[in-house]
Structure 1
Amino acid sequence: MLKPHNRDGFWNQTIVGKVPQVTISFWIIKLLTTGMGETTSDFLARQFDPPLIVATMGALVAAALIVQLNAARLRPWLYWLVVILVSIFGTMVADVIHVAAGVPYFVSTMAFALAVLAIFVAWYRREGTLDITSIDNRRRELFYWALVVVTFALGTAIGDLVASSFRLGFLASALLFSGAIIVPGALYWRSGGTAVAPFWCAYVLTRPVGASFADWMGVGPERGGLGWGTGPVSLALGGVIVVVALAVWLTRRRASSSVTFDIGQ
């Protein structure tokens, strides 16, 4: 006789922590992915049919998330691949809402902010915590990734609102958000990496910081940028992400080998 499938048991299934440790390298790579997502989204939207590329990116994000959710442990390359894809897709969603649907940046910013708040409330009411170090079951992991997707869209809308609607331009916006991120960043580090609210504030703000700098480098002088092109900027940022990720991996591997050697002695 077949036993009934326990859906609640599946979502409460214990998992090994699959979110990287929040270190300086984590924030560096996160900032780089935000910039890469912005310029890559702009590049692809100009090279391909927008509805088609948005649907394709959505499918890629869904596929990558399924692989990530079913992974038995943290695989940094897979984690950051999902973040990059989400960054590109989140940018596209925010841009489509404004360009195709004609929704003002202020309205989309408020809508995404409410969506982020709704996920926070649902996550906390269900799990009693918003700490990413407590992501030890599949339900919490899903809450986390839902929040990541929406925060990317929110950050894109905020950045465009300030740069375009408020007419500050990309460089001024990047400097403004860089100053804004100092406060929650300082509170987070002062807490020893335990303060939840400053972490998520800094996490959201990394998006407009990275995206504004990337836009400034990619767009032409007529828009206040350096004119390097969105394609070259995307490739450059992708290359830096790979270099930083490899450096982190090699450093930890050497540290692990050193500990093993010392124990063997």
Structure 2
Amino acid sequence: MNILPGARYWLNKVPQVTVLFWIIKMMSTTVGETAADFLNANLHFGLAATTALTGMLFIVALLFQLRASRYVPALYWITVVFVSVFGTLVTDNLTDQLNVPLAASTALFSIALIATFAVWYAQEKTLSIQSIDSPRRELFYWAAILFTFALGTAAGDWLAEGLQLGYANSALLFGGLIAAVALFRYVFKADAVACFWVAYVLTRPFGASCGDLLSQPASNGGLGFGTVEASIVFLALIVGMVTYLSLVPQRLKQ
């Protein structure tokens, strides 16, 4: 029996880490930031209703993702977009509703993420996303993803707003840190798994800072393109790239 070149790719429930993976991830992060602002402020849903709605959508998407027997690009990235929005709103609720300082939220979600990794490694002896091939590993994976989005939101807002660094400077800072992680990985041969998760956390505040920079009015330090326009553009780009990824395996089967 002949095995197709991409057959092993389907054994894992998450995509291969490529340049396209990081581009879609950062765009989904930007959509998470702008969509949360759009639902909360523009459509006047309010923070509580927006959180409840996106939380339910995330749970539904996650259930379908967990039931799938293989990696399905559209399903996976829909789940990422919803967890991005929901993770953003978790931090926003702590800040706006419960008056938890952003520094405290950053510390809280850092501890939660480290604890998730500790339990995950103790149970599975690996944190590699190249081996998300069992229900338990996938649950650990999505728990970590949720905490990375909440942590990235808290850290990004803390620097951009709490420390008044500004959206542009925050984007430059987190972009520089991502570049440093890439340097450590490819030049100094640092551990691939550690570099992946550090970069995954950093892409959240980087994407959010870019989203705020594009959507927020000039009076708030942004470029004033608006949340609707920014969300539509990035959603369209995500749909285009995910459609491409969905068609590639079909070409391999021909």
TM-score (norm 2): 0.91
1:41 match: secondary structure = helix
1:237 aligns with 2:234: yes
Deviation at 1:250, TM superposition (A): 4.1
1:43 aligns with 2:57: no
Q: Which residue of 1 aligns with 2:21?
A: 26
1:145 aligns with 2:142: yes
> 1-side partners of 2:25 and 2:146: how far apart?
13
Q: Which residue of 1 aligns with 2:71?
A: 74
Q: Is the 8 A contact 1:184 1:202 kept in 2?
A: yes
Describe the superposition over 1:218-259 as per-residue Cα deviations: whole angstroms up to 9, x where unpaired: 0001111011111211111101111222334445544x26xx
| 2:125 maps to amino acid | G
Q: Percent identity?
A: 46
2:11 match: secondary structure = coil
Instruction: Note the residue ranges of structure 1 that are not aligned, 5 or more in a row.
Output: 1-14, 261-265
**How many residues of Structure 1 are paired with residues of Structure 2 in the alignment?**
243
> 1-side partners of 2:65 and 2:250: how far apart?
22
Instruction: Note the residue ranges of structure 2 that are not aligned, 5 or more in a row.
Output: 1-9
| 1:28 maps to amino acid | I
1:21 match: secondary structure = coil
* Larger radius of gyration between Structure 1 and Structure 2: 1
| Superposed counterparts of 1:120-135, under 5 Å | 120-135=117-132
> 1-side partners of 2:68 and 2:249: how far apart?
21
> 2-side partners of 1:185 and 1:79: how far apart?
24
Q: Which residue of 2 aligns with 1:116?
A: 113
Deviation at 1:51, TM superposition (A): 1.1
Q: Is the 8 A contact 2:74 2:246 kept in 1?
A: no
| Superposed counterparts of 1:194-205, under 5 Å | 195-205=192-202
> 2-side partners of 1:51 and 1:167: how far apart?
26
| 1:20 maps to amino acid | P
Distance 1:74 1:252, change over 3 A: closer
Q: Is the 8 A contact 2:72 2:246 kept in 1?
A: no
Deviation at 1:49, TM superposition (A): 2.6
> 2-side partners of 1:147 and 1:190: how far apart?
27
Deviation at 1:90, TM superposition (A): 0.5
Q: Is the 8 A contact 1:187 1:195 kept in 2?
A: no
Q: Which residue of 2 aligns with 1:8?
A: none
Describe the superposition over 1:63-101 as per-residue Cα deviations: whole angstroms up to 9, x where unpaired: 111111011111100000000000000111111110111
